[in-house]
A and B are shown apart, each in its own frame.
Chain A
Amino acid sequence: MEDSFLFQAIIYLGAAIICVPIAKKLGMGSVLGYLIAGILIGPYVLEFVGEEGEDIMHFAEFGVVMMLFLIGLELEPAKLWQMRAMITRVGLSQVLITSGLLFAAMVLLGLDWKVSLAISLSLSLSSTAIVLQSLKEKNLLNSSAGKNSFAVLLMQDIAVIPILAVLPLLAVASPTGGDGHHESFISQVPGWLQTLLVIGAVGLVVLLGRYAIVPLLRLISRTRLRELFVACALLIVVGIAFLMEAVGLSPALGTFLAGVILANSEFKHELESDLEPFKGLLLGLFFIAVGASINFGLIFDQALLVISIMLGIMLVKTLVLFGIGKTNKMGLDQNLIFSISLNQVGEFSFVTYSFASQLQILDQNTTEMMMAVTALSMTLTPLLILANDKLLLPRFGTLEKTEREADALEEKNPVIIAGFSHYGSTVGRFLRANGIHATILDHDSDRVDLLRRMGFKVYYGDATRADLLESAGAHEAKILISAIDNPETNLLLVETVHKHFPHLELMVRAKHRGDAYELMEMDVPHIYREHLDSSVRMGKDVLTKLGFRAHTVHRLAQNFIKYDEAGLQELVKYKDNQQEYISMVRRNIEMQEDLLASELNRKFSLNDHAWDSDQIKEGLKNAEGKS
């Protein structure tokens, strides 16, 4: 324990840097990499980290808090309101049914009902950190499995409040105070005041978000000191987390709320880009800590018991989730992803266990056991997701490709479309309307099923995988259209194609200018900024409505697009002269500034003299003057 902070930092960072890339390379995802790193440096393997692993975990739980703040930022209040039905229907039923079943099972097994209730409520929770991180890495957040998972996780975060409120009622003895870790000052005031304080705190967060935080951020951003803004962002999150903890609410939920309120503010992107690295690091640390805190001693001593409890719990959770998925009409694929992703016990359970143990509802042994089960189930999740991906889905789910009927000739489509959301589907429909059939790659199984029923040739999976591209006929095709929503995936795809299928002509969708720059740096000749044509078309209509002649406007628009495309080629050369690290958002703003400034002095007019007699009159006058 005399290890210096620096040495500790080296251990954690080193373990992460070694394990995570290996795990990713093996297709396991970063979460499992971190967990393995934690196990390796933990007390049972390399012994770099001892008991303090748990302290670090408490610290790193803050990563979860930040994650929820960032998720909140992405979710405007209106969107959240739209989700309310899903949150109650899918989320609430999960919490209630799962804890109900587990409670019944435990009571039947002869456990005390108070203990059973405390444990079963804790067990109904899943790990926000693991699930969201895994789904995000697989780009599944927008699929129906992703949306439903999010609804469940959100409901569970909300459920932490009543769970923490109910536990003291079960207490056999009044709280002993213990190390005071999870004891809030609020528990010392009468019940009615507690309620009032809770409502007051939530109200305070809403009011702060509305009327205090944005002006503060505006003030700070005027100082033009980036680090001050980062500090301010951190202060907001920490402050709200503290406030929530003080009144005994879930800090994650509080910051989520703050995030939602700030989602409409102009600082949304700034906050996101500033907090993102902290969140990533802390979450990584959290997973490492979970790995390190697994009590392998206990697990080995009572291996059979621990494993059977864990498997039992996970089985119940999976079945309940699957049932819910089924009643909500999820496809088999999505349902499997949904129910297997969420079947672990989550990080909030650590909090509820230790709270319950302080309240002496759970004894030391039970607490240890449940913690081991929880940590183990969290470690197992990434493996299960992997198994689902590699073993279950290929066999039972939407197949990567349709089985070719023996007599059907293998059609060789000249075009492959990667990504068939609104952009790709519009391109695909246009091609199909003109008799060109394209092979489609998509990773949304529901959409894949639909398209196959409609007679499209569809491959299911990650378009950046060279083997999938190959089976989709990349060797024979002429053109590959990359129409994937996520710009990063698009870049990956370009890389894969350059490497494995250099003969393919790439036509790539770009979200915006910055995105286009990155593609241009990768030597992609055909880049299509998705907004360009439609926004200029809108501008055309505006000019026409203001009284411009339609044909003139039409030609002005043609000119503008030409100018804009040429400007893109020009500006890409200068973009790297700027400071190395500026956030994407700031870069976009600077880009816009450059554009607007350069256009200020440019007179946009038609630079030809077609159908215009002014110049002729002028010219003739001059000629007459000379003679």
Chain B
Amino acid sequence: MRKILVLLAHPKYEHSHVNLQLTKAISGLDNVDIRDLYQLYPDFDIDVQAEQEVLLLSDVIVWQHPLYWYSCPPLMKQWIDLVLEFGWAYGPGGIYLKNKLVLSSITSGGTDAAYSKEGRHGHTLAEFLLPLLQTAKLCNMRYLPPFHVGGTHRIQSEELREAATQYRNTILFLRDSPEIPAELGDWKTLTTYGR
């Protein structure tokens, strides 16, 4: 059983619609630790040591946040800037994150279709997440395909429930599956994978 650390970054979580449901779907699970960054560090004063300690003890790190201007919310970036230290996370002696898995769990107003070559945003979500991917790689971690819930402005409650279940299954899969195959497709097709 892997230890999962979910780093939730939502500056207005109490008004969030989708993130709230997603988080609810995975809270209370064994070995799944959710850290609500905006609740922990309202003034961006991140406790680097505490963050590194929990990182060290986890096998899978989930960056869960909405997509703002094709990137993460500022506190998430602050977390990356401060916690992933040179000599600890990367560079000489930076070995403490080696071989951990990273999953981006993204919600966006734009639909899946909007995030494509032909779509409104002109690129796929994976392309926009390139900086995160490379961040993980630099720290010798494996960056998994993102879990994405798109079209959150118009999402129906039925769809939302469906997405929440998928998210829960994804997390359970990452926690329990003995192997994480090198080639992972879309998480939506993976929901029954390995069980």
Which residues of A are at the interface with B, using a C-beta cutoff of 8 A?
Answer: 555, 558, 562, 608-611, 615-616, 619-620, 622-623
Chain A hits for B91, CB < 8 A: 616, 619-620, 623
> Could you tell me the distance between the alpha carbons of A622 and B87 in the complex, rounded to whole angstroms?
12
Q: What are 25 A-B residue pairs whose CB atoms fall within 8 Å in the complex?
A: A555-B45, A558-B43, A558-B45, A562-B45, A608-B48, A608-B85, A609-B85, A609-B86, A610-B81, A610-B82, A611-B81, A615-B86, A615-B87, A616-B86, A616-B91, A619-B86, A619-B87, A619-B91, A619-B92, A619-B93, A620-B91, A620-B92, A622-B92, A623-B91, A623-B92
> Could you tell me the distance between the alpha carbons of A610 and B77 in the complex, rounded to whole angstroms?
12
> Could you tell me the distance between the alpha carbons of A623 and B92 in the complex, rounded to whole angstroms?
7
Chain A hits for B81, CB < 8 A: 610-611
B82 in complex: contacting residue of A558, A562, A608, CB < 8 Å = A608
Q: Which of B43, B92, B93 is the most central at the interface, judged by chain A CB atoms within 10 Å of its CB?
A: B92
> Could you tell me the distance between the alpha carbons of A616 and B92 in the complex, rounded to whole angstroms?
9
- Nearest to B88 among chain A residues (CB) is A609
> Could you tell me the distance between the alpha carbons of A619 and B94 in the complex, rounded to whole angstroms?
11
CB distance from A529 to the nearest CB of B (A): 18
> Could you tell me the distance between the alpha carbons of A451 and B30 in the complex, rounded to whole angstroms?
51
CB distance from A128 to the nearest CB of B (A): 51
CB distance from A323 to the nearest CB of B (A): 56
> Could you tell me the distance between the alpha carbons of A620 and B87 in the complex, rounded to whole angstroms?
10
- Nearest to A558 among chain B residues (CB) is B45
Q: Which of A558, A611, A616 is the most central at the interface, judged by chain B CB atoms within 10 Å of its CB?
A: A616
> Could you tell me the distance between the alpha carbons of A616 and B86 in the complex, rounded to whole angstroms?
7
Chain A hits for B92, CB < 8 A: 619-620, 622-623
> Could you tell me the distance between the alpha carbons of A558 and B43 in the complex, rounded to whole angstroms?
9
Known: A558-B43, A608-B48, A608-B85. 16 other contacts (CB 8 A): A555-B45, A558-B45, A609-B85, A609-B86, A610-B81, A615-B86, A615-B87, A616-B91, A619-B86, A619-B87, A619-B91, A619-B92, A619-B93, A620-B91, A620-B92, A622-B92
CB distance from A613 to the nearest CB of B (A): 9
> Could you tell me the distance between the alpha carbons of A622 and B86 in the complex, rounded to whole angstroms?
13
- Nearest to A561 among chain B residues (CB) is B45
Interface of A, secondary structure class, is: helix
- Nearest to B94 among chain A residues (CB) is A619
CB distance from A49 to the nearest CB of B (A): 66
> Could you tell me the distance between the alpha carbons of A608 and B86 in the complex, rounded to whole angstroms?
10
> Could you tell me the distance between the alpha carbons of A555 and B82 in the complex, rounded to whole angstroms?
12
- Nearest to A611 among chain B residues (CB) is B81
| Chain B 154-182 residues near chain A, CB threshold 8 A | none
Chain A hits for B86, CB < 8 A: 609, 615-616, 619
- Nearest to B91 among chain A residues (CB) is A619
CB distance from A77 to the nearest CB of B (A): 44
Chain B hits for A623, CB < 8 A: 91-92
CB distance from A540 to the nearest CB of B (A): 13
> Could you tell me the distance between the alpha carbons of A609 and B83 in the complex, rounded to whole angstroms?
9
> Could you tell me the distance between the alpha carbons of A619 and B85 in the complex, rounded to whole angstroms?
12
Chain B hits for A620, CB < 8 A: 91-92
Chain B hits for A555, CB < 8 A: 45
- Nearest to A624 among chain B residues (CB) is B92
- Nearest to A562 among chain B residues (CB) is B45
Chain A hits for B87, CB < 8 A: 615, 619
- Nearest to A608 among chain B residues (CB) is B48
> Could you tell me the distance between the alpha carbons of A610 and B51 in the complex, rounded to whole angstroms?
14
Q: Which of B48, B82, B86 is the most central at the interface, judged by chain A CB atoms within 10 Å of its CB?
A: B86
CB distance from A610 to the nearest CB of B (A): 5
Chain B hits for A615, CB < 8 A: 86-87
- Nearest to B48 among chain A residues (CB) is A608
10 nearest A-B pairs in the assembled complex, by CB-CB distance = A623-B92, A558-B45, A610-B82, A616-B86, A608-B48, A610-B81, A619-B92, A608-B82, A619-B87, A619-B91
> Could you tell me the distance between the alpha carbons of A275 and B53 in the complex, rounded to whole angstroms?
55
CB distance from A623 to the nearest CB of B (A): 4
> Could you tell me the distance between the alpha carbons of A142 and B93 in the complex, rounded to whole angstroms?
64
Chain A hits for B43, CB < 8 A: 558
Chain B hits for A611, CB < 8 A: 81
Chain A hits for B45, CB < 8 A: 555, 558, 562
Contact with A along B92-131 (1 / 0, CB 8 A): 1100000000000000000000000000000000000000
> Could you tell me the distance between the alpha carbons of A616 and B88 in the complex, rounded to whole angstroms?
11
Chain B hits for A609, CB < 8 A: 85-86
> Could you tell me the distance between the alpha carbons of A350 and B107 in the complex, rounded to whole angstroms?
86
CB distance from A10 to the nearest CB of B (A): 62
- Nearest to A613 among chain B residues (CB) is B86
> Could you tell me the distance between the alpha carbons of A620 and B92 in the complex, rounded to whole angstroms?
7
> Could you tell me the distance between the alpha carbons of A620 and B93 in the complex, rounded to whole angstroms?
11
> Could you tell me the distance between the alpha carbons of A619 and B48 in the complex, rounded to whole angstroms?
20
> Could you tell me the distance between the alpha carbons of A619 and B87 in the complex, rounded to whole angstroms?
8
> Could you tell me the distance between the alpha carbons of A609 and B84 in the complex, rounded to whole angstroms?
10
> Could you tell me the distance between the alpha carbons of A562 and B43 in the complex, rounded to whole angstroms?
13
CB distance from A308 to the nearest CB of B (A): 70
CB distance from A588 to the nearest CB of B (A): 29
Q: Which of A558, A609, A615, A620 is the most central at the interface, judged by chain B CB atoms within 10 Å of its CB?
A: A609
